[in-house]
Structure 1
Amino acid sequence: MRRSVSMQRLDGLVDPRQGLSMVEAQARSARYGPNTIIPGVRSGWRTTLADTLHDPMLWFLLATGALFTLIGSYTEALVMLLALVPLFGMDAYLHRRTQASVEGLSGRLATTARVLRDGSQQTVAAEGLVPGDLVLVRSGEFFPADGLIVAGEELQVDESTLTGEAWPVHKQVVERELFSNIRETAVEDVYWGLAGTRQLTGHAWLRVALTGAETLYGEVVRSAVAGTHAQTPLQRSVAHLVKVLIVAAIVFCLALAWLRYHQGHGLVDALLSALTLAIAALPEEFPVVLTFFLGVGVYRLARRRALVRRSLVVENIGRVSCVCSDKTGTLTEGRLRLTHLLPMSNISEQRLRTLAATASQADSGDPLDEAVLSNCPPPVEQHILARFPFTEDRRKATMVSEQEDGLLVAVKGAPEVVLGLCELPEAERRDWLAAVEVYSNDGHKVIGCAYRTLARESWTGGEPDRGLSFAGLLAFEDPVRQGVPEAIAACREAGIRVIMVTGDHPGTAIAIARELGLGGEQPQLITGDELAAQIARGEPIASEIDIVARTLPAQKLALVRALQAGGDVVAVTGDGVNDVPALQAADIGIAMGERGTRSAREVSAIVLLDDDFGSIVGAIAEGRRLFTNLQLSFQYLLMVHIPLVITAALIPMLGYPLLYLPIHIVWLELIIHPTALLVFQNLPSAHAMEPPPTKGTQPRFFDRRAWWVILAMGAIVTLVVTSTYLNGLGADYAVDHARTVALLSLIFAGAGITAALSRLRNIAAWLMVVVSPALSALLVHTPGLGTLLHLQPLHLEDWLLVLGGGLLAALLVRLGLWRREPRA
């Protein structure tokens, strides 16, 4: 990583012992502003209410509920008002989630800093730091801003919050020549101390260069707080559909009332016609069905160990075409494990383990020391006389311990360094280095061990670094999580592209990719810098890229946006603060629940409770299944509502008596609502993980052919209902008889549509297809009840027409199905 810094900010501050004066600090504060990395976020119920009032669905539900109240349909009005509760709850939750995200991000920041001003050390609030300040950061403390390390020793830093990698980073003191007559330069990451990272060992003097939002951590926070999720295609489609139907309903109602009045039917008839049409035409089922299906999806994904934090992502997860996954802790276990021991011929494996453990320090904070000690326990009793810890310059750690027969010197470190301290023939040295290269190319972290025994009187206290005997090699790896290769194979079969995004070395990343089966034997890799340059040139992301290595948070974010611009629906997995911008920008942000940071979990749409990458595959399959079933439900609603609305308006407009009375509309809604909600939400699917017919985001909820099928079926059912009504009137103008035939024709046609779309693959489909028409027939033929409802029993020829219409609807829907249906 190379970060650019303007040397003008540090002009004249070459001396690592020179701080600012209070006057200089105040002038720089006025110029650069405070070191506020976490911006304030509006809070309170008024803010939440104001945000909620921008939701057009809220106003639709309020208006619909008010209209139902005015016409006396209190049950429907209550349903509309109850639908407001989850809307308010969701908006309040999302607002609180933003606040919690900021609180989580704040937990990694220093609140105070030890700064050198006016020649003396002072403790000031971290927000009071300015570019040019000289700050002392001790072991265990967080860096309060981004700056260059100008002095220090034994520097190891935990940068996992920004890079996602758990291993300590060794830092170096920046060369003084860097400050000489250079106005702008890019500085290597080994010289930087970054806000939000923690000093593990040693102490560092930091020359502050960037503060506030300019810090790398500030960029992460700004992306998390300011970033917003665009509406999903389903949201836009449903909102557009609702608006169209509302406008159409208003126009039809006004036209029908005006026409009936001028036809001489009177004001009461005109109002009744308009209100009846309004009840039939208002599309309250669509938002209710959408909410219900999303709730079902949340529950089912939870059973797959995927906790959904935004219910609307249930739709998007089924449309994912690309998964950008970090490596450590997601594809791998996120911990080093000793996998290979290669001792010298005269050294046992147990002896090699003991030497490695002796050279390790339990409280160093180094994951490598922890990995060694967890696999190679040291002797129970040993007296350490001296420690010479690992540094970036030394690249080795040495321990001197007291033994019964003298002193034992144990050394571990970079193999080439340790081998250089040992007396070995050159050919044998080359063989050991070749073994190191083999292990490294396979993604292992390799250390060498050496030893020497000394007489007590011969040791003067310095670090023994001559005459060592080589003991052997230890190779560690971050193991692949169980089930991940199978999950990646399932993604590949489903047409879902998986890209590993990691801060690791390219060689390690390629070795892990091969083990995962990602990209086959020759995974295609690009570095983060190469990716950024490619995006800057406006080039599309190559479809064959499997790995992006050496990646920064901003580059991961750029990758996500570039993939989205190319038409992909992108899911991002992550667990650290470094993943927050990409998680926020992704269509689906997926955080690890067990080891993920709070910030990553708070901005993510889904949290994997078991940190299992395989759960993502199950969630995608569930999302695809639910999305397909939601399409079937909406098809049913449209195919039934189109003839209902048209016949409710057309028959009175032609001057005939009303086809439907308000009680008939309620009757129909009692059939339509449970059918849409219950029949289609639980249909099985054998095709959920097959490749989708098109890549990425589809422009509409239904494609053009689907709309033609829906409109054609609506027209055919309209023709059936209208013709049966006109035929039923006959010469004697038998209105109740005609109304009964037409009403049952619509009910049986709806049953046929339900049977064709569902293929009767669950008990709810059988109940609605068989029981609803049967109960309707029983209602019509029950003495007295039919008269009360202005209906009459039907003759045999009438029933033949009704049954024929239902069978025709079922047949035409089956012939018109345009998409592969789920098979049991």
Structure 2
Amino acid sequence: MRRAIPLDRLAGLESPERGLSAAEVDQRQGYGANAIVEDAARHWSALAGETLRDPMLWFLLGTALLFGLLGDRAEALTLLLAVIPLLGMDAWLHQRTRASTAGLASRLAGTARVWRDGTLREIAARAVLPGDLAQVAPGEYFPADGVLVAGSEMLVDESTLTGEAFPVRKQVLAVADRFPAVADDCHWAAAGTRLLAGQATLRVLHTGQETRYGAIVRAAREGSHARTPLQQAIAGLVATLLWVALAMCLLLAAVRLVQGFGAVDALLSAVTLAVAALPEEFPVVFTFFLGVGVYRLARHKALVRRAVAVENIGRVTCICSDKTGTLTAGSLVLSHRLAAPGFDAASLLQLALQAVRSEADDPLDAALLAAGQAPDLAPHAALFPFTEQRRRETAIWPDGAGAWRVVTKGAPETLFALCDLDAAALAGWRRQVDLYAAGGHKVIACATRRLAAAACPASEPAQGFVFAGLLAFEDPLRDGVREAVAECRAAGIRVVMVTGDHPLTARAIAREIGLGGGEPKVLVAEPGCEWPDDVDVVARAIPAQKLELVRALQAEGEIVAVTGDGVNDVPALQAADVGITMGERGTQSAREIAAIVLLDDNFGTLVRAIGEGRQLFRNLQLSFAYLLLVHIPLVASATLVPLAGAPLLYLPIHVVWLELLIHPTALLVFQELAPDGRLGVLARRGPARFFSRRAWWAILLGGALITLVLLGAWWQALDGLALDGQVLAEAPVVTHARSMAIAVLVVASLTITASLSQLRSAMARAVCGLGLASLLLFVQLPALAARLHLQPLHLADWAVAALAGLLAGLIGRWVLGLLQR
């Protein structure tokens, strides 16, 4: 990866020893502060900006002004006081949604040491400017992005930016007369990364939001700009509801004028209905839930890079998974030692260790060293390293009295040819090699001989060896893979292992993890081959065939997740519905294309991410079902009662109160619901939909039933009086009927919340408790009730509200049952 260097910021700064002068510092103040994460002042200014865009705030201020102009100061003051809890709720929600972004500041330098006017000074990191020369010591974070112009043995932790667990070596950028136009990534250091070892001198090039870390913070704050399928569906729903609400408001205003209520009443009726019917909760809830999904997946070591992945991960029906490093650990271990006559398992291992180079990075040698300690012998006299042509490695050691011990290890067929084995023994050892290979093992052989020579031989001996036995290595399964695959099968998720391994090796691993019920169907990939719909393993696969497999599965209606870590996996990752790469082994190209990065390269992590995605979608369904079940009776009653010629059922202060109950319930109660530990069977395939047709009918019918109960309770409380607004507007019976209707609606909201959430979270219990407390407080306390144009209810009234709540709870249970199918 290469990055462009802004040469206009570096004129005269070619020397790795020259910092900025005071004059240059003044000239560069125009670049602004190195504010990578917004400070507290900007945080609260942003909150104020968001609050000012809240239509509820302007509704309160506008209606308070209207009542003030009409001379009703008490009502105006009440509405102004209602702004306080609204602002408090906005501040709390704002704090919750930005908690993860604020946590990013902990990975940033607070101060920096820079050279200015020939002196090394410690300044606030916010004061660092492009062109500054910064000194960074081990354990410190880099204060900004720039190129390394001096230093030694630099080892940097870049996991914050890349997700890679392993530290990265950095190199000094050689600068002669001028800086180059571009520099490789090994010469760059970035804000938010930490120097682990060595000394580094950084020429700062980018600060603040121009840094790579700043881009991450901005993405976390703003989210993806690409509209996902569900976002498009929500946008269509909101647009429809807005037009319906506008039409209803105009109709209501016109009818109130015709009924003779006057312009003020008509305006107040229309504005109140508009706020009650405004569907702003739907996009807000969806955006909030996406943020929760990203956070929860990150907790399970699945780093989400695109918002669409949060939607699609829960709808995955097929996983095309790599074998090495995902299903298996990605490292070899010595699993079997089969010694020849005259040797035992311990002596066989000791022989193999004598042909190991302790400094080598060969995985077989590493596995041998992990299985036993290399013998404490004098340095070997000669070593003939492994090559693909010879396919063995040989070491020669002094064996006393002028003799030499020769030890060799390598491919079994190669060593068989060096040993004196009769036909029967040779056939037996070959059968054993085939058995190990069929079990997914990598097999080597060991042999030895003694040389009675005066001097160490200059060439590698090629005959006369005594066969010592076989060593079998395996790449063990990751912990929990069998259980994860079984969970996928139970949930109806198909798992296909795609590997370049030999079919026998692939079959052995697939059988061990339970693919195909223990009898996997293996397909050897060939050019132009057809893809059966029941294949469990694709062996000898190349990248082009992996892409063909993904497209074939998608053509069958599968929602496909693909794991990959190399550049050759990029086409399949790009074509998949959810592309998933590995944080530990994944290449930069794969990470750029993939929607999700698994930080621990574990198949179990992928399955847990699917479980979180499915729970997120279920939670979103519950939240939307709640919004609809509560808003249908609210909007319907707010429209029908005034149309019937009665006084307004809900005054502005009542709408404020109800929205302060509905808004946090939809946002906080249902997103708190955690997975129950099971994936569950996906009810539907194909395009994402919030509700099935039966669920839609249940919601609409349930909302209509609650509306009828609410209107019935209101009518009964009117005690049969005529609907003449001019007479009854301030009558106690109207206040009683209004109190009755609001009590029914609030109790219904609480029982719907309880039934949909099953009170599984502390937040659900807290919201229901606070909602009930507010109802009792505002209705039963005469002073507060009078201020809100309500009056205390009798025991019989509460019995009616309780029965209405019971009905609403049963409707909620009905809808919940349909959503869980």
The reply to whether TM is greater than 0.5 is yes
CA contact (8 A) 2:629 2:699 kept: yes
- Alpha-carbon distance between aligned partners in 1 of 2:163 and 2:610, rounded to the nearest angstrom: 29
Deviates more, 1:421-430 or 1:616-625: 616-625
1:707-746 Cα distance to aligned partner (Å, 9 max, x none): 1011111222222333444444442634333322222222
Q: Does 1:790 align with 2:772?
A: no
Instruction: Determine if the alignment matches structure 1 residue 714 to structure 2 residue 711.
Output: no
Pick from 485, 493, 497 the counterpart of residue 500 of structure 1: 497
**Cross-structure match for 1:13:** none
Task: Quote the Cα distance in structure 2 between the aligned partners of 1:754 and 1:377.
Answer: 63
Native 8 Å contact 1:741 1:798 kept in 2 = yes
SS at match of 1:418: helix
Q: CA deviation at 1:456?
A: 2.9
What is the CA distance between 1:507 and its match in structure 2? 1.6
- What residue in structure 2 maps to residue 473 of structure 1? 470
2:666 pairs with one of 666, 673, 676: 676
Asked if residue 548 in structure 1 is aligned to residue 538 in structure 2, the reply is yes
The higher-RCO structure (CA 8 Å, 6+ apart) is: 1
Match of 1:330, SS?
A: coil
AA aligned opposite 1:639: L
Q: Report how far residue 644 of structure 1 moved.
A: 1.2
**Following TM superposition, by how much is the alpha carbon of 1:439 offset from its aligned partner in structure 2, in angstroms?**
0.9
What is the CA–CA distance in structure 1 between the aligned matches of 2:320 and 2:388, rounded to whole Å? 32
Report which stretch shifted further, 286-295 or 422-431: 286-295
Aligned to 2:484: 487
The CA deviation at 1:314 is 4.5
Under a length normalisation based on structure 1, what TM-score does the superposition of the two structures give?
A: 0.69
Q: Which amino acid aligns with 2:783?
A: G
Q: CA deviation at 1:575?
A: 4.7
| 2:163–2:584 CA contact under 8 A, matched in 1 | no
Residues 293-344 of structure 1: CA distance to partner in whole angstroms, max 9, x if unpaired?
A: 4455455555555555556644443333222222212211111111122222
Q: Distance in 2 between matches of 1:687 and 1:645?
A: 38
**Partners in 1 of 2:689 and 2:457 — Cα distance?**
80
Amino acid across the alignment from 1:341: R
Q: Measure how far apart 1:619 and its partner are.
A: 3.7
Distance 2:181 2:542 in 1: 25
Supply the distance in 2 between the matched residues of 1:548 and 1:805 (Cα, whole angstroms). 59
**What is the one-letter code of the residue matched to 2:368?**
V
Question: 1:441 Cα deviation (Å)?
Answer: 0.8
Residue matched to 1:248: 244
Q: Percent identity?
A: 51
Correspondence for 1:518: 515
What's the secondary structure of 2:746's corresponding residue?
A: helix
AA aligned opposite 1:257:
A
For residues 2-401 of structure 1, the aligned pairs below 5 Å read 65=54, 68-69=57-58, 72=61, 232-298=228-294, 300-301=296-297, 304=300, 306=302, 313-401=309-397
- Structure 2 SS opposite 1:731: coil
- Which position in structure 2 is the counterpart of 1:745? 744
Instruction: State the alpha-carbon separation in 2 of the partners of residues 761 and 415 from structure 1.
Output: 60
> Is the contact between residue 104 and residue 599 of structure 1 (CA under 8 Å) also seen in structure 2?
no
Shift of 1:668: 0.8
For 1:722 and 1:320, the matched residues in 2 are separated by 44
1:273 is displaced (CA, Å) by 1.9
Alignment check: 8 A CA contact 1:643 1:714 kept: yes
Q: Is the 1:321–1:497 contact (alpha carbons within 8 Å) kept by the matching residues of 2?
A: yes
AA matched with 2:429: W
In structure 2, list runs of 5 or more residues that go unmatched.
Answer: 7-30, 33-46, 62-81, 105-144, 146-157, 174-179, 187-223, 723-727
Equivalent of 2:405, from 376, 392, 408?
408
Quick one: which amino acid aligns to residue 721 of structure 2?
Answer: A
Report the Cα offset of residue 552 of structure 1: 3.3
Alpha-carbon spacing, 1:653–1:561, altered in 2? closer, same or farther (3 Å)? farther
Give how far 1:436 is off: 0.9
Query: Distance between the aligned counterparts of 1:764 and 1:778, measured in 2?
Result: 21
Is it true that 1:427 corresponds to 2:424 in the alignment? yes
Normalising by structure 2, what TM-score?
0.69
Q: Using the TM superposition, give the Cα deviation of residue 38 of structure 1 relative to its aligned residue in structure 2, in angstroms.
A: 7.1
- SS of the aligned residue for 1:520 comes to helix
Corresponding residue for residue 771 of structure 2 = 772
For 1:413 and 1:528, locate their aligned partners in 2 and report how far apart those are by CA, in whole Å.
29
Whole-angstrom distance in 2 between the partners of 1:689 and 1:306: 17
Structure 2 counterpart of 1:658, which letter?
A: L
Match of 2:801 in 1: 802
Q: Which residue of 2 aligns with 1:731?
A: 721
Deviations 1:628-660 (A, max 9, x none): 233222111101111212222333334432221
Higher deviation after alignment, 449-458 or 709-718: 449-458
Unaligned runs of 5+ in 1: 1-36, 46-57, 113-124, 129-141, 143-227
Preserved contact between residue 755 and residue 765 of structure 1 (Cα < 8 Å): yes
Q: 1:316 to 1:74 in 2, by over 3 A?
A: farther
Cα 1:371–1:258, aligned 2, differ >3 Å: closer, same or farther? same
CA contact (8 A) 1:101 1:599 kept: no
The answer to whether the 8 A contact 1:740-1:792 is kept is yes
Q: What secondary structure, in the 3-state scheme, does the structure 2 residue paired with 1:757 have?
A: helix
Note the alpha carbon deviations across 1:173-222, whole angstroms, 9 max, x for none: xxxxxxxxxxxxxxxxxxxxxxxxxxxxxxxxxxxxxxxxxxxxxxxxxx
Aligned partner letter, 2:444: I
Q: 1:703 aligns with which of 683, 692, 695?
A: 692
Query: What value does the CA root-mean-square deviation take over the aligned residues?
Result: 4.5
2:611·2:675 contact (CA, 8 Å) conserved in 1? no
For residues 89 and 439 of structure 1, do their structure 2 counterparts lie closer, same or farther at Cα, with a shift above 3 Å needed?
closer
User: 1:328 & 1:249 partners in 2: Cα distance?
Assistant: 56
Q: What does the per-residue CA deviation read over 1:251-290, in whole Å, with 9 as the maximum and x for residues that have no partner?
A: 3333333443454433332322222122111222223333
Report the CA distance between 1:428 and its aligned residue: 1.6
Distance across 2 between alignment mates of 1:324 and 1:639: 40
> What is the distance in 2 between the residues matched to 1:304 and 1:448?
42
Secondary structure at the aligned position of 2:477 is classed as coil
Hey, what's the Cα distance between the residues in 2 that align with 1:547 and 1:368? 26
Superposed displacement of residue 769, structure 1: 4.9
Give the match for residue 568 of structure 1: 558
SS of the residue corresponding to residue 499 of structure 1 reads strand
1:380 to 1:637, Cα distance in 2 relative to 1, 3 A: same
Q: Separation in 1 of the partners of 2:225 and 2:347? A: 57
Seen in structure 2, the aligned counterparts of structure 1 residues 394 and 685 have a Cα distance that, compared at 3 Å, is closer
| 1:452 is aligned to 2:449 | yes
The separation in 2 between residues aligned to 1:297 and 1:590, in whole angstroms, is 16
721-730 vs 272-281, which moves further: 721-730
What is the Cα deviation at residue 355 of structure 1? 3.0
Change over 3 Å in CA distance of 1:428–1:803 after alignment to 2: closer
Q: CA deviation at 1:108?
A: 12
Distance 1:375 1:758 in 2: 53
- 2:5–2:182 CA contact under 8 A, matched in 1: no
What code does the residue aligned with 1:518 have?
A: L
Counterpart check, 1:666 vs 2:656: yes
- State the distance in 2 between where 1:102 and 1:617 align: 19
| Cα deviation, residue 98, structure 1 | 14
Deviations 1:423-477 (A, max 9, x none): 2212221111111111111111111222222233476623321222222211111
Give the letter aligned to residue 563 of structure 1. L
Structure 1 residues 673, 380: closer, same or farther in 2, change over 3 A? same
AA paired with 1:432?
A: W
Q: Deviations over 1:47-103 (max 9, x none)?
A: xxxxxxxxxxx9x9899636743652867689789989969999xx9xx99996699
Q: Return closer, same or farther for 1:63/1:565 CA change in 2, 3 Å cut-off.
A: farther
- Distance in structure 2 (CA, Å) of the matches to 1:460 and 1:787: 108
Name 1:638's counterpart in structure 2: 628
Judged with a 3 Å threshold, the aligned counterparts in structure 2 of structure 1 residues 303 and 708 are, in CA distance, closer, same or farther, namely: same
Does the CA contact (< 8 Å) of 2:59 and 2:275 recur in 1? no
Q: Answer yes or no: is the 8 Å Cα contact 1:659–1:739 preserved in 2.
A: yes
For 1:758, the aligned partner's letter is S
Q: Deviations over 1:543-591 (max 9, x none)?
A: 4222122333444344344434433333334455555554555444445
Amino acid aligned to 1:567: G
Paired with 1:767 and 1:82, the residues of 2 have a C-alpha distance of 15
